[in-house]
Amino acid sequence: MFWRSVVGKLAITILLLVSFIISILTILLLEFFENFHIQEAEKAMMQTATNITTLVEQYPNKSLVIDTAERIIDLNSRVAIIFDDGEIWVSDSANESLSAFDKSWLEEEEDLQQAITNNEEVIQRMVLPGSETEAMLVGAPVSTNDGAVFVYQSLDVIDQTKAETSRIIFLTAGIAIVLTTIFAVFLSTRITAPLIKMREAAFDLTRGEFNTKVPILTHDEIGELAIAFNRMGRQLNFHIQALRQEKEQLSGIVSSMADGVVTLNREGVILVINPPAEKFIRDWYFDHNLEMPKENPLLPDELNTILQRVIDGESEVLHEFSLQGRNWVMLMTPLYDQAHVRGAVAVIRDMTDERRSDKLRKDFIANVSHELRTPISMLQGYSEAIVDNVADSREEKNELAQIIHEESLRMGRLVNELLDLARIEAGHIQLNMETIDARQYVDRIFKKFQGLAADNHIRLTLSKEIQVDTAVLDPDRIEQVITNLIDNAIRHTAENGFVHVQVECREDAFLVTVEDNGAGIAEADLPFVFERFYKADKSRTRNESKKGTGLGLAIAKNFVEAHHGRLTVQSRINEGTSFSFQIPQKS
């Protein structure tokens, strides 16, 4: 709105100030000219009366005096001459409202007597007797006799002069106000034009356009203000860019952290959160059968409780959670705003792998101890039987020695497999990559198990899909993998079952699948079949034909991954199991 703008306020201020000054000046001028006209009229009338009194005093001839008086008097006024013999002569006047002078006026107006009796000049405003005309009357005494000369005229003439003067003054004042208004608008526009540019630039700054510059139109204080504004814009742009870079850097650091980070205020509103923390909150909502809102998710109750403990105690709090089968550890630390706690930052770490590693380490020690205890016990028992001569015949001693020999071989296999696994996991495995004939390689391995399958009354079959004749791999390591998979399948398949081996050799990959219809693996055991010493039979009392160290699949998985391949398993309990792996081939 114009009246609320700087231009309007400045223009109105100038206009009001000038109008006030012109109004005061007009009033003073009107008062001055009114008094001036009255004084000039009085002076002119008194001059006329004085001139006529001089004629009366110098010329005794009344006719000459009257004739001369008619020549010098104003047509809009009347002159009354009172001679010493009491005769009164009154002149004519163009103003018909002026009544003729009469002696009765002297009786009614005592002040008029002063001109005759006291020889004093008289100036008086009066309403003419017998009329409503207001007139100004002056009288001059004739010093040589008892006569006097009175000159009077209507105040309407003076009022007309005053009105004309007032009209000129008001016209001048009006012209001055109009010119002042134009000047005020022009001046305020010139002054405020840079300010308007600065206002527009300020709005641009609020929209983030920090490169906006204000044109420098003048070299006065407003120009200096424009220079300072441009300098401020550059400084703001610099600092905003620096803050944006720091914010992006901090956001990148927080987002790339493996641990979850959540920043909260005192009310528990989430201010900053990274993807791992979002996953934790999603798991919490899912675990509590709640639907997570898309915007402004609420803080879990456990975290709210911990937040209050942090705020009240002003100290960090460590807490552990268990969600969706995973272990989480959260450390919440207070955030201070000078001396007051304004919120907290929580670091949430997924400790599942660490807990699993601890468990695997403990299980590894227990498994190794268990696997070694049985053969050591057998070695100790049978050797004591030989030493104590429990076996009388040579055949019995040979039988005991054979058992000791088998158990020592079993211990040797266990130790060798542990060493191989340790070397593989330490990255010390060396692959001897060779180009092999796929058909001959697979047939040779397959023939080794035909006798074992026949002894166990299991139907062993092989299907090949050879698109290319050769494959690049470490033949000894991959043979160990295939051997382990076929041996496991035969040992865990009942009589009259089947084991099917399928081989594909393509340009991009070498694939092997070993499928059986054996006992299968429970769903709960599937994620752990590739762990060291893991055995689906928790009782560890499997029959002799199913003995194993529990390291074969772990070694096979590491051999396949060393070839940049992948080993997978699919199984249903009492329906069968299928192990598959593929070795990528370079094109």
One-letter identity of residue 280: F
Q: Measured between alpha carbons, how far is 271 from 139 in angstroms, rounded to an integer?
A: 102
For residue 48, pLDDT beyond 90: no
Q: Measured between alpha carbons, how far is 565 from 585 in angstroms, rounded to an integer?
A: 10
Q: Can you say whether the dihedral through the CA atoms of 553, 559, 561, 564 is positive or negative? A: negative
Q: Can you say whether the dihedral through the CA atoms of 441, 446, 447, 448 is positive or negative? A: positive
Q: Which of 142-156, 173-187, 213-227, 552-566 is the most confident on average? A: 552-566
Cβ(565)–Cβ(580) below 8 Å: no
Average pLDDT over residues 211-234: 78
Q: Which CATH architecture has domain 434-584?
A: 2-Layer Sandwich (3.30)
On the 0-12 / 13-18 / 19+ scale of CB atoms within 10 A, 538 is: exposed
Please tell me the predicted confidence (pLDDT) of residue 7.
Answer: 62
Residue range(s) of every CATH 1.10.287.130 domain in the chain: 355-425
Q: Measured between alpha carbons, how far is 308 from 268 in angstroms, rounded to an integer?
A: 9
Nearest Cα neighbor of 76 from 41, 52, 51 is 41
Q: Which CATH superfamily is domain 7-162 in?
A: PAS domain (3.30.450.20)
Average pLDDT over residues 40-49: 84
Q: Which residue has the higher pLDDT, 392 or 581?
A: 581
For residue 146, pLDDT beyond 80: no
For residue range 485-533, what is the model confidence (pLDDT) as tens digits?
Answer: 998 899 889 889 999 999 999 999 999 999 999 888 888 778 778 876 6
| Per-residue burial over 217-255, b = 16 or more CB atoms within 10 Å of its CB, e = otherwise | eeeeebeebbeebbeebeeebeeeeeeeeeeeeeeeebe
What is the DSSP track for 225-247?
A: HHHHHHHHHHHHHHHHHHHHHHH
What is the DSSP track for 451-516?
A: HHHHHTT-EEEEEEEESSSEEEE-HHHHHHHHHHHHHHHHHTS-TT-EEEEEEEE-SSEEEEEEEE
Please tell me the predicted confidence (pLDDT) of residue 509.
Answer: 92
Average pLDDT over residues 367-396: 72
For residue range 352-378, what is the model confidence (pLDDT) as tens digits?
Answer: 777 777 776 776 666 666 666 767 777
Topology classification of domain 355-425: Helix Hairpins (1.10.287)
Q: Measured between alpha carbons, how far is 248 from 326 in angstroms, rounded to an integer?
A: 31
Cβ of 522: how many Cβ atoms within 10 Å?
12
Please tell me the predicted confidence (pLDDT) of residue 539.
Answer: 41
Please tell me the predicted confidence (pLDDT) of residue 583.
Answer: 93
Q: Which CATH architecture has domain 257-350?
A: 2-Layer Sandwich (3.30)
Please tell me the predicted confidence (pLDDT) of residue 425.
Answer: 65
- Block residue for tokens 């069968």: 576
Please tell me the predicted confidence (pLDDT) of residue 272.
Answer: 84
For residue range 564-575, what is the model confidence (pLDDT) as tens digits?
Answer: 899 999 988 888
Please tell me the predicted confidence (pLDDT) of residue 535.
Answer: 62
For residue range 406-459, what is the model confidence (pLDDT) as tens digits?
Answer: 778 767 766 776 676 666 666 667 778 899 999 999 999 998 888 888 888 999
14-23, 97-106, 188-197: least confidently modelled range: 188-197
Indicate the pTM of the whole model.
0.40
Query: β-strands 122-127, 134-141: how paired?
Result: antiparallel
For residue range 51-99, what is the model confidence (pLDDT) as tens digits?
Answer: 888 888 888 788 888 888 888 887 778 888 888 777 888 888 777 777 8
Grouping H, G, I as helix, E, B as strand and the rest as coil, residue 344 is strand
Q: Measured between alpha carbons, how far is 191 from 193 in angstroms, rounded to an integer?
A: 6
Residue range(s) of every CATH 3.30.565.10 domain in the chain: 434-584
Q: Which residue has the higher pLDDT, 277 or 105?
A: 277
For residue 392, pLDDT beyond 90: no
Q: What confidence category does residue 45 fall into, taking pLDDT thresholds of 50, 70 and 90?
A: confident
| Percent of the chain scoring above 90 in pLDDT | 10
Q: Measured between alpha carbons, how far is 554 from 264 in angstroms, rounded to an integer?
A: 44
Please tell me the predicted confidence (pLDDT) of residue 541.
Answer: 38
Cβ of 331: how many Cβ atoms within 10 Å?
15
Residue range(s) of every CATH 3.30.450.20 domain in the chain: 7-162, 257-350
Please tell me the predicted confidence (pLDDT) of residue 364.
Answer: 66
* Cross-sheet strand order for the sheet of 317-323: 270-273, 260-265, 340-350, 326-337, 317-323
Average pLDDT over residues 574-586: 90
Average pLDDT over all residues of the chain: 80
